[in-house]
Each structure stands twice: as structure tokens, then as C-alpha cells.
């Protein structure tokens, strides 16, 4: 049965902008987040506390947080290690995201450590994030650019481990965007045997145009949280061939058309997408934004 309400998690200001060649100033990033909040989005990734030499687009996340005045909005930030967590907490972050992958090869290229080492880091880090909600990201939940297809049982085991370590929610990522509905549904069904469906989220890239179909297939299992990126910005700088995230506008149009509520206004998300893509110097990837002209 389809959920009657879906929570959209906006990842554009972090996952979207980190893969853009243009470095967006903190004031513009903060303005984008504010526009998205005004559209009705209540959970918006504000940035990341990671090495600025590896991800320069996220270098000023503390300044972005300091600029924002959105007390009712959850603003998770990505951290990779204890230093990043300390910096995030010092900047006032109250929602933390940690990330690993269901592929040892991808972990080594993305995080500079093995999968087991990443879990050891989280076992040390998460208890230090007292008072914060911690979200866990699993990349390569359907396939890895280096290791090929990912067994659903591996994703389920990893999701259960992250939950046991203290993650309140697990976001399942099709990093390559190569998944199709049957595979996506099977993966989520396997994970739901180990982690309650209410603690799962979908994070699907649209490299092969399959993201909306994959999302719908998994919503039918009862998943009620979907990550999306305004204007379809993003991708993964560490995954060769990965396309952008599914566009928030496109997901919202589908959900509105199905009578599923989100509390988010499509026209305002479209406007926010055009605001940031005007700054980036290219049009939105979102099909809905382009169709609306």
C-alpha cells in the first residue's frame, strides 16, 4: 500500500552542489536553503564537514549554518570522521549524517578506508553526537562501479549494523543510478527484514532515467522518505559514470499527481532550482522545470 504522506529530504545544497564545477559562495548556498524551506521542505542537507581539498564546494559549511535562521527546519550535515563531527557540533549542527558503502572498493576510493574501518569510525563517532539525530547513508546499495551488482543481503546486514550503532534513519543509495524497479524493490525488501521500514529512506540517482520508477516500486513497500535534489543537481565525484540525483521537482510532480501529500509547493521548488542554476550557469536537469518553461 502506498503511503498517504511522503517526507522529501532535500539534498541539493550538499549532494547537489558538491559535484558542480562552480564553487557557490556561502551566502548563495544559504539563500538556496532558505528558498527551499519557504517551499515547505522541512529537512534540507546544509553541507558537509569534510576535507576541503577533496570537496572544495563544502568548505564554508560552518559559515552557511551561521547565516541561516531556520529553527524549525532540520539541517543535517555530512561528516566523515571525528574531526568533521567536532567541527559540525562547534558550528551548531543538530542533525548529523555519516556515510559508508556496501562495497569495500568504493569505501576505499570515497573514504580512504575499508568498509570495516568505516564502521569502526562510526562506533567511535556516533556516541559523541549526543543530542543529535544521526542519519546513515549506504552508497552502492544496488551496484558499485568497481565491484558490480551488490547483493541485497549485504545491504541489509550493513543497514542493521548502522542502526545498532545509533543511526535513526538509513538512506539507501543507488549511487550509479543503474538500478531498475525489480532490483530496487528486492533490495529494500531485504533491508526491511532487518530494519523497520519506517526508518528507511530512498536516495536514487537518475543516470539511466530509472529513478522515478524505482522510487514508486519502493513506495509500494511502505517507504515514506525520499531524498531528492533541486533541479536534479549532483552525482558522486568518486563514482565514475554516476549521474545526478533525481530532481525534487520531478518527484514532487509524481507524488502530487498520485494524491500523496508532502507539504511542499512545486512552484516554489521550481523557482529555487532556477535561482541556483542561474548562478551555476546551466539549466535545470529537472524535466518538470524544463516543461514548465
The span from the first CA to the last CA of the chain, in angstroms, equals: 34
Residues with a catalytic annotation lie at 236
Residues 178, 184: Cα–Cα separation, whole Å: 10
* One-letter-per-residue 3-state SS of 2-67: CCCECEEEECHHHHHHHHCCCCCCHHHHHHHHHHHHHCCCCEECCEEECCCCCCHHHCCHHHHHHH
C-alpha cell at 128: 559523541
Residue 44 contacts residue 73 (beta carbons within 8 Å): yes
C-alpha cell at 6: 511522503
Helical ranges in 91-244 per DSSP H: 104-111, 115-125, 152-165, 181-192, 211-219
CA distances from 88 to 81, 224, 282 (A): 11, 27, 31
Q: What is the dihedral of CA 148, 137, 272, 205, to 10 degrees?
A: 10
Q: Which residues pair with 227 in a beta bridge?
A: 9
The full length of the chain comes to 293
Q: What are phi and psi of 71, to 5 degrees?
A: -65, -25
- Cβ partners under 8 Å of residue 158, min gap 6: 100, 102, 115, 138
Amino acid at each position: 500500500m502506498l503511503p498517504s504522506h511522503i517526507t522529501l529530504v532535500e539534498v541539493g545544497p550538499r549532494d547537489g552542489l558538491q559535484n558542480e564545477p562552480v564553487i557557490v559562495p556561502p551566502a548563495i548556498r544559504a539563500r538556496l536553503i532558505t528558498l527551499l524551506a519557504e517551499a515547505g521542505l522541512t529537512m534540507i542537507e546544509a553541507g558537509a564537514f569534510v576535507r576541503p581539498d577533496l570537496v572544495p564546494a563544502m568548505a564554508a559549511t560552518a559559515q552557511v549554518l551561521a547565516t541561516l535562521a531556520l529553527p524549525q527546519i532540520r539541517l543535517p550535515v555530512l561528516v566523515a570522521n571525528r574531526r568533521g563531527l567536532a567541527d559540525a557540533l562547534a558550528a551548531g549542527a543538530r542533525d548529523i549524517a555519516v556515510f559508508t558503502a556496501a562495497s569495500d572498493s568504493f569505501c576505499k576510493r570515497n573514504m580512504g578506508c575499508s568498509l570495516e574501518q568505516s564502521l569502526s569510525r562510526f562506533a567511535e563517532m556516533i556516541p559523541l553526537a549526543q543530542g543529535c539525530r544521526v542519519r546513515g547513508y549506504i552508497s552502492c546499495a544496488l551496484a558499485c562501479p568497481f565491484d558490480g551488482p551488490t547483493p541485497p543481503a549485504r545491504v541489509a546486514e550493513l543497514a542493521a549494523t548502522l542502526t545498532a550503532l545509533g543511526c535513526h534513519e538509513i538512506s539507501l543509495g543507488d549511487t550509479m543510478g543503474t538500478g531498475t524497479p525489480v532490483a530496487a524493490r528486492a533490495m529494500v525488501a531485504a533491508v526491511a527484514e532487518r530494519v523497520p521500514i519506517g526508518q528507511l529512506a530512498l536516495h536514487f540517482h537518475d543516470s539511466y532515467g530509472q529513478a522515478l520508477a524505482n522510487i514508486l516500486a519502493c513506495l509500494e513497500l511502505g517507504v515514506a522518505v525520499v531524498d531528492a535534489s533541486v533541479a536534479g543537481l549532483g552525482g558522486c565525484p568518486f563514482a565514475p559514470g554516476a549521474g545526478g540525483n533525481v530532481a525534487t521537482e520531478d518527484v514532487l510532480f509524481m507524488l502530487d499527481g498520485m494524491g500523496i501529500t508532502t507539504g511542499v509547493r512545486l512552484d516554489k521548488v521550481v523557482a529555487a532550482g532556477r535561482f541556483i542554476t542561474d548562478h551555476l550557469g546551466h539549466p535545470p536537469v529537472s524535466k518538470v522545470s524544463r516543461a514548465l518553461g
